[in-house]
Structure 1
Amino acid sequence: MKMTTLAALTAALVLAGCSRGADKAPPPSGNASAATVQANAAFAATLPLAEPQGFEDAKRGLIARPTGKILAADGSVITDFDAFGFVTGDAPPTVNPSLWRQAKLNAQAGLFKVVDGVYQLRGFDIGNMTLIEGRTGWIVVDALTCRETAAAALAFARQHLGQKRVTALLFSHSHIDHFGGALGVLSPEQVKGGVPVIASAGFIEEATSENVLVGTAMGRRSGYQFGKNLERSAGGLVDTGLGKGVGYGSFGILAPTDLITQPSEERTLDGVRFVFHNVPGAEAPAEMSFSVPSLKLYGGAENLAQTMHNLLPVRGAKVRDALRWAGYLQAALDELGDAEVYVGQHNWPVWGHERIVEFITRHRDVYKYTHDQTVRLINAGLTPAEIADQIRLPKSLQAYFGTRGYYGDLRHNVKAVYQFYLGAYDGNPAHLDPLPPVEMARRYVALAGGADKAQAAAQTAFDQGDYRWAAELLNHVVFADAGNQAARELLARTYDQLGYVAEASTWRNSYLTAAAELRGGPPKRGIDRAGLIDVLAQTPIERFLEAMAAGLNGPAAEGKDFKINLVLTDTRESYVLWIENAVLHHKRAAPAADANATLTLTQGFFVRMMAGTAGAKDMLTSDEIKVSGSRIDLIRFLGLIDKAPGTFPIVTR
């Protein structure tokens, strides 16, 4: 019974992409075709790639560069400061030249002085840690992704700036790459001792609940978006658009002690006056930007970065509101005052009031143009694919490097706007009830005259540089027969070329990861939950129970009427779980007298189960858990909850 309990409950929660010991992908071909070389050369001719301002800004204020590696407790490498040393010089033929420029800019890792009293640590993780000097110590803006990178960054700053204490911690928004390293910055005891933790309303709810319900799928797909398992090379991972790579270590969180709930609120932290601006529901469900008038500083959180952002990430998420996003950026212009420096929580700063105004204006207009023109073409009857192929930004926005699609992509964002208003269905009744992908693939391949003919047509398209059509044909061939190794290799080579010409890092990483999995198969291991234990401890029990309900195997549960009590002894919480009409419900209530069984345990043990750190021996011997009632019924109940390992195939079936 207790092994079943562990298996079932650990399936209830994951956060996207949190595995450290991941499978290494087979290397890409590393060979750019003649068509790819020509396409990248033509692309380079359209942009002033040697424009020096970005390089000056990315290097400005450098105090020191880190060397070596940041390691996890088990010795695995979280950050290798030398891994991207190959990102120098002119773009190789296997990388879009515009993305190569962004990769070189993001490769500027180190401690930087922004202005007097303001410093940034960049390149330790995908995001930035910003330090603002207070009267007695550092006010830290964002804590990176994991404890290890945050602690290393702060130690590096103290090495060069002095042993100052942290006097406040600000979370700009509710994504884990900005709060996951909190315990590397402050301890819970320091917070209890009075060090303030500031965030916007809804932060802890959003930070702990994001990805709970569909975290397994998001985690699997995030490996594509960030190229997590790709080798660091000119034929593999070169950048993520927002930074070099994500720090996959030990994740934690600290509950805010002070919430920003109004559109604008002021706080004085360690003698420094901040004006916070609440901007929820655009880039993140809970987010805030800020101004420091005395320093003429504006902090844009992640509504602003040195790249177009995602309205719908490749990994998946709830669709973001482009119109609200543009509105917040107009508000930022109105709130800017006499600011002379912008800092973001990704990429590098912008100096000079006029340049900051231009930066915000261009971002505002990218999202507004994308929104308005997509809606115009929706009303003209065009489908998402048609709109994505038709919309082009005006030249004034295309030519601005700060809003090019290194992380987000215009074509993907267009589809997000369409989905935001009309959903994924394009209105064509033929698409109301299409065949499943494998069955459709088999029929298309048969219609083409068999796999050999379809593959021959794909080879012709590949040879002509028509990679989109080659991918379409080969996708059907591989779905129809996943064992067709020749088709898999040709599709992998096709994805290589699509990756080599992609300006968006998220597209490049997705194509190259797909190619690697065609050659080597999906990952052997799913997400490692052990590093999440400090985040799970802050997660409301209801989120776990909602995820359990979403894991219930409906067909298997039909006709079942189990009722289970869940009692948490240390928090004195009690829940009743029951199945009705093949749906798992829960409510906070006293144990039901007619329950089939009662599972009694501590919240701490429950969290360790979620993290996978409580093993079978612990469950057999621990005095933190006991079962009363029918153990057989509890086994049957838990056996109805599917365990999703997160290793499902994506490019084959």
Structure 2
Amino acid sequence: MNHTEEFNKQIITVIPGIHCAIGYGIANSILVEGIDGNIIIDTLESREGAIELHKDFQAISSKPVVAIIYTHNHADHVFGAEVLAGDNVKNVKVYSHSTTRKIIDTAMSVVQSINFQRSARQFGTYLTEADGHINSGIGLYLNFKRNNTRALLYPTDTFNTDKWALTIAGREFVLYHAPGETDDQIVIHMPKEKVLFAADNIYKSFPNIYAIRGTTTRNAIQWASSLDLMRNLRPEYLIPSHTKPISGEDYIHEVITNYRDGIQFVHDQTVRFMNKGLTPDEIVGNKLIQLPDHLQVHPYLQQFYGTVDWSVRAIFDQYLGWFSGKTSDLNPDSPIVRAQNLIRLGGGNEKVFEMAKIAYSEQKYQWCLELTEALTLYPEDANVSDIIQLQVLSLQNLASVQTSAPARNWYLTKSLEIQGLMDVKPVAERRVQSILKSALNSSLMLLPVSLDNKKANGVNQLILFHVNDTDEHFSIHVRNEIADIKWKWPENIHSNDVDMIVEVNKEETWKQLIAGVKSPILAHLNGEIITKTGDEQTNSTGGIKLKTFLDMFSEQ
């Protein structure tokens, strides 16, 4: 696969005053020069990634940045904002759809650990050129490694209508809500200049209707509808948030039309075969859905990023859920039991390993991978190092035949992980910083999904919290191995039902407590928290009790 020509680091001046930066990370960032200030559209994926771009944008125009527009919530569009805002960071306005902040906060809290790991595999974040990394499919690389930090600015001005016309620094913009790759996606039209900023609704690759890093299925019909909106604007310049800008009204109209037709075709044919009773494996395995010839060869529908097969599986799941309809899939054995049964069927570990080696020699790398995965799950007396080495070879060969960069990157990353040469995990500091910089209600979202149910077994404790500097009340009730969090104190509650009341001096103190950077015992001794019994009597041992309570949350 060679898809590197799109991603050499450069700043393209699309028309005077509008500049698109490519290759500084996986996403593009756009500088629009206004009369008395500049506007930035999307801001790269990290503080570290945005530093060089900020200097290069300043070299083009030293006017203050007065506005930032987020096209959607993805990390590669929002986490460099504070850097690109420059000296005007305290005064800059940040525009987005009204749902963007909520989605950012959710992604930063409940699934951030697994999202980091799977994203690193999909984008090849830890791969080097020597490891076989080429690019990330829609950009050169994701500049968000283990120690990189976020420079997020939350939206200050939002809209929840179909469109929003506004003037910023003398420039006229129309923001359209155009859900596609995300539900909060907006596209930005500058009608006088006939420029359309396409966000992630179109890029030079088959779209990611499902991303293997882990996402809900993107609604294909909704995406196609947004592309209809875009093509009907008849722009002369189209600037995606990934891959190069293109120009020419007729050519842009043709590109968008074919792109939306490709999405609709895969959707419609998937549903057609679903209605015939076929499973995802049958549809994909029998290659029943292939793009029509004119779409198959179109440069904007090559499967460098998303793939038709992944889209088929995602669309099936969107309509019918995880169950394929094949009866043996209803209650399958555990992976270890299946591995054990497969090895027994094959005549034992030694014979199955020989079969895996034969599969490899016959270039049946997928079958070799499945056999070696079974052997590593149920190794018995097998030579595990030999099994892993064969598994590594099968992964590397599978990577070599992938068109999709995410698939290639995943195979190569896993090959290094199973050898112990790569550890794809976020540092603890990243979680801490996410909590400290998030809103209070967002930090609370992390607690229920961090509860160690074994530690909470038999526990029935209700604690009421009051944060003094923000005058916010919430309760945490651990009962029957779940954490029930309410954003206010329960009404008509009897004091005997309350185990403790905790007065926290500052919101910052609360975040430090749940991030694990401040001890509840020390905070209690220092007067940063005051604990009382349910009948409002001071509790001298409250710091110890609060520590025991918070220790039930496994991430502490």
The verdict on a shared fold, with TM-score over 0.5 as the criterion, is yes
Q: 1:114 aligns with which of 14, 26, 37?
A: 14
Q: Which moved more, 1:578-587 or 1:595-604?
A: 595-604
Relative to structure 1, the CA distance from residue 626 to residue 152 in structure 2 (aligned partners, 3 Å threshold; closer, same or farther) is farther
Whole-Å Cα distance in 1 between the matches of residues 509 and 132 of structure 2? 41
2:258 pairs with 1:372: no
Q: Which residue of 1 aligns with 2:141?
A: 245
Alpha-carbon offset, residue 620 of structure 1: 8.3
In the TM superposition, residue 589 of structure 1 has moved relative to its aligned partner by: 2.7
The corresponding residue for 2:536 is none
Cα RMSD over matched residues? 2.5
Q: In structure 2, which of residues 301, 310, 328 is the aligned counterpart of residue 403 of structure 1?
A: 301
Q: Which residue of 2 aligns with 1:17?
A: none
Cα shift readout 1:486-526 (whole Å, capped 9, x = no counterpart): 11110110000000111111100111111111211662x73
Aligned match of 1:605: 509
> Does structure 1 conserve the Cα–Cα contact (< 8 Å) formed by 2:14 and 2:20?
yes
The equivalences for 1:62-461 within 5 A come to 96=1, 100=2, 102-106=3-7, 108-159=8-59, 161-186=60-85, 190=88, 193=91, 195-210=92-107, 212-233=109-130, 235-248=131-144, 249-280=148-179, 282-334=180-232, 336-337=233-234, 339-389=235-285, 390=287, 391-461=289-359
| 8 Å Cα contact 2:121/2:213 also seen in 1 | yes
Q: Find the counterpart in structure 2 of residue 10 from structure 1.
A: none
Q: Is the 8 A contact 1:562 1:633 kept in 2?
A: no
CA distance in structure 2 between the aligned counterparts of 1:358 and 1:605, rounded to whole angstroms: 56
For residues 247 and 514 of structure 2, the distance between their equivalents in structure 1, rounded to whole angstroms, comes to 46
Query: Structure 1, residues 441-480: CA drift from partner, whole Å, max 9, x if none?
Result: 1221122111111111111111111111111222211121
Query: 2-side partners of 1:198 and 1:253: how far apart?
Result: 13
SS at match of 1:490: helix
Counterparts in 2 of 1:625 and 1:500: CA distance versus 1, 3 Å: farther
Q: Is contact 1:251–1:533 with CA below 8 Å preserved after alignment? A: no
The yes-or-no answer on 1:477 pairing with 2:375 is yes
For residue 343 of structure 1, report the CA deviation from its aligned partner.
0.4
Shift of 1:618: 7.8
Determine the C-alpha separation between the residues in 1 that align with 2:106 and 2:245.
Answer: 31
Q: CA deviation at 1:130?
A: 0.3
**Secondary structure at the counterpart of residue 167 of structure 1:** strand
Q: In structure 1, the residue corresponding to 2:460 is in which secondary structure?
A: coil
Give CA-to-partner distance per residue, 1:15-54, whole Å, 9 cap, x none.
xxxxxxxxxxxxxxxxxxxxxxxxxxxxxxxxxxxxxxxx
Could you tell which deviates more after superposition, 447-456 or 587-596?
A: 587-596
Query: C-alpha separation between the residues in 1 aligned to 2:445 and 2:156?
Result: 27
State the Cα distance separating 1:538 from its structure 2 match.
5.6
CA contact (8 A) 2:464 2:474 kept: yes
Q: Distance in 1 between the 2:433 and 2:481 partners?
A: 33
Query: Are the structure 2 counterparts of residues 529 and 117 from structure 1 closer, same or farther at C-alpha, using a change threshold of 3 Å?
Result: farther
Paired with 1:621 and 1:186, the residues of 2 have a C-alpha distance of 41
Task: Identify if the C-alpha distance between structure 1 residues 635 and 500 changes in structure 2 by more than 3 Å, giving closer, same or farther.
Answer: same
TM-score using structure 1 length: 0.77
How much does 1:240 deviate?
A: 0.4
Q: Which residue of 2 aligns with 1:489?
A: 389
The answer on whether the counterparts of 1:209 and 1:539 sit within 8 Å (CA) in structure 2 is no
Higher RCO structure (Cα 8 Å, ≥6 apart): 1
Residues 83-136 of structure 1 show CA distances to partners (whole Å, capped at 9, x for unaligned) of: xxxxxxxxxxxxx3xxx1x12322x10222111221012211211110112112
Counterpart contact for 2:67–2:94, Cα < 8 Å: yes
Moved more, 366-375 or 561-570: 561-570
Match of 1:49 in 2: none
* Cross-structure match for 1:551: 450
| CA-CA distance at 1:528 after TM superposition | 2.5
- Kindly indicate whether the alpha-carbon contact (under 8 Å) linking 1:252 and 1:533 is maintained by their aligned counterparts in 2: no
Question: What is the CA deviation profile of residues 402-437 of structure 1, one whole-angstrom value per residue up to 9, with x for unaligned ones?
Answer: 221212121111110011011111112222211111
Deviation at 1:534, TM superposition (A): 6.8
**Shift, 1:613, TM fit:** 5.6
Can you list the C-alpha shifts for 1:220-253, whole angstroms capped at 9, x where unaligned? Answer: 21221111222223x4211001211122222132
SS of 1:256's partner is: coil
1:270 Cα deviation after fit: 1.0
Change in Cα spacing, 1:617 to 1:350, as seen in structure 2 (3 Å) is farther
**Native 8 Å contact 2:521 2:547 kept in 1:** no
Q: Percent identity?
A: 26
* 2:33/2:61 contact within 8 Å kept: no
Task: Indicate the SS of the match to 1:199.
Answer: strand
1:56-93 Cα shifts (integer Å, max 9, x gaps): xxxxxxxxxxxxxxxxxxxxxxxxxxxxxxxxxxxxxx
**Aligned AA for 2:546?**
L
2:410 is aligned, of 498, 501, 510, to 510
Note if contact 2:520-2:546 (Cα within 8 Å) is conserved in structure 1.
no
1:373 positional shift: 0.8
Aligned with 1:236: secondary structure? coil
Which residue of the other structure, out of 543, 549, 555, is the alignment partner of 1:637? 549
Give the Cα–Cα distance (whole angstroms) in 2 for the partners of residues 447 and 619 of structure 1. Answer: 60
Deviation at 1:381, TM superposition (A): 1.3
Is contact 1:191–1:197 with CA below 8 Å preserved after alignment? no
Count of aligned positions: 536
Letter in 2 for 1:146: S
SS at match of 1:575: strand
Compared CA separation, residues 579 and 300, structure 1 to 2 (3 A): same
| Distance in 2 (alpha carbons) for counterparts of 1:113 and 1:614 | 49
- AA paired with 1:362? N
User: Structure 1 residues 406 and 201, CA, compared in 2 at 3 Å: closer, same or farther?
Assistant: same
Matched, 1:542 2:438: no
1:174–1:285 contact (8 Å) kept in structure 2:
no
- Which ranges of structure 2 fall in alignment gaps of 5 or more residues? 533-538
1:200·1:278 contact (CA, 8 Å) conserved in 2? yes
1:528 to 418, 424, 427: 427
Q: Distance in 1 between matches of 2:547 and 2:137?
A: 47
